Amino acid sequence: MSTNNKFTTRRQLLKWLSSSPLFAFPGIASIAADIPAFAPPRRPDPIMWAPAALQDLINNPKEAINVFDFEPVMRKNVPPAHFGYMASGIDDEVTLRANREAFLKYYLRPRRMNDVSKVDMSMEMFGVKYDSPIFVAPTGGNKAYHADGELGVTRAAKAGNHLSMLSTAATTSIDDAINARGGPVWFQLYATSSFEVARALVKRAENAGSPVVAVTVDRVGGRNQETLFRLRRTDTRVCKECHESASGGGAGGDRDRRPNYAGIDLSSAASMQSANMTWDFVRRLRDVTKMKIVLKGIVTGEDAALCIEHGVDGILVSNHGGRGEDNGRGAIDYLPEVVEAVKKRIPVLVDSGFRRGTDIVKALAMGANAVGIGRPYLWGLGAFGQPGVERVLELLRIETRAAIQQCGARSIKELTPAHIGKAV
């Protein structure tokens, strides 16, 4: 039935009721008279005026209004399999969605009548000062998205003086990343099942001048990346030209061709995962390096307390952007219990799902020392290379500063749990 017919029928029904002795009352005739022959459907509130169609893509980074403007441009530019690898969660991707939806559980509590004309967003981590609490989280294979790759990302981090981390699986070496940054770059470690391989990777990073190793502890098995698998079917390229197999098979697939693995014997690594890792790994790693040790993937208060007990230097709360497990809990939900267990004895960082300045400020108010960005800067990279990454980071800095001001704070140090409320 058309919308016009629906309203006409309703009007006729009310007129009939008004004449029926069973439903007679004075007001119904006037109600029927007031209903027009045609009434438009109620519009959404608020109306979403911004165009969302793919034909309305931005043409350069400066046109971007928020970080989401970059993703459809990346989708247009990047081969389907590569885009699918970036976009994937695992299984039903409930954790991927939960990372975003969880922010709706919390709201910022604005405070007024403070002079917030000047805001200090700087933070210090292991003796190094950065201009922002936003750090560049480690992501692998960046040249699959743009020729600028990790070097472009690192140079963008330098432009905004952000802390940056480089993945073991990067398409550039830790040496080249540090040279491009002109300063410290943390090294994210995929330890593999072999401590000898892990030791060799860490020594390479230490010799290059990396001050911190962030050990990923949540990659203990394979993952069912359904979005990747479906998009890969639409990719007409011959993947074997770049990969040992379409699924990255073998002892690491094409990873032994990545620069950080160069010259390292991987034969002792039965798996590129770390299913055999225990707390003894921290002790053994401490014996072979002077680097600070951060564990990436700690998500419970119990494990955070064990980090303190075993002399870990820092914690990175992370669920691998929804790519490690599909338990359905957002990363921001883990943060309070980890912060409570740590009690400010070591730094607590967090990543996974952060897209807005308000997201970042919520985490800082909960007690995080720094907040990591992953997919958004990859969107910028895939869309426009290094200038895209720079714009993504700039937009997040602008939004973060505004959210801090609304909290009535003049620095990130003034943000406290009192600035956070939980939605009922």
DSSP string, 322-337: GTS------HHHHHHH
Gap between the Cα atoms of 200 and 252, Å rounded: 16
DSSP string, 191-245: --S-HHHHHHHHHHHHHHT--EEEEE----S----HHHHHHHTT--S-GGGTSSS
Q: What is the pLDDT of residue 238?
A: 72
332: left (phi over 0), alpha (psi -120 to 50) or beta: alpha
Gap between the Cα atoms of 249 and 231, Å rounded: 18
Of 84, 104, 289, 259, the closest CA to residue 173 belongs to: 259
Exposure string of 134-170, with b = 16+ CB inside 10 Å and e = fewer, is bbbbbbbbbbbbbebbbbbbbbbbbebebbbbbbbbb
Asked if residues 95 and 326 have their Cβ atoms less than 8 Å apart, the reply is yes
Q: What is the pLDDT of residue 6?
A: 53
293 strand-pairing partners: 213
Share of the chain above pLDDT 70, in %: 84
Gap between the Cα atoms of 299 and 318, Å rounded: 7
Whether 354 has a pLDDT exceeding 60, the answer reads: yes
CA dist 104 → 133, 219, 353 (Å): 21, 28, 12
Rg (CA), the chain: 26
Taking only the tens place, the pLDDT of each residue in 229-255 is 888 888 877 766 565 544 433 334 466
Q: Which two tokens stand for residue 63?
A: 């046109």
Whether 424 has a pLDDT exceeding 90, the answer reads: no
Asked if residues 380 and 77 have their Cβ atoms less than 8 Å apart, the reply is no
Taking only the tens place, the pLDDT of each residue in 31-49 is 545 555 556 677 777 666 6
Q: Which amino acid does the sequence have at 212?
A: V
Q: What is the pLDDT of residue 48?
A: 60
Q: Classify strands 106-108 and 420-422 as parallel, antiparallel or unpaired.
A: antiparallel
Q: What is the DSSP letter of 120?
A: B
Q: Which two tokens stand for residue 48?
A: 């979403």
Distance of CA 239 to the CA centre of its chain: 27
Range with the poorest average pLDDT among 11-25, 61-75, 362-376: 11-25
Q: What is the pLDDT of residue 384?
A: 98
Asked if residues 257 and 170 have their Cβ atoms less than 8 Å apart, the reply is no
Who's near 57: CB < 8 A, 6+ residues apart?
72, 73, 76
Taking only the tens place, the pLDDT of each residue in 297-352 is 999 999 999 999 999 999 999 999 989 889 999 999 999 999 999 999 999 999 99
Q: How much is the mean pLDDT over the chain?
A: 88
Name the band, by pLDDT with cuts 50, 70 and 90, for residue 272: confident
Show which residues are catalytic.
320
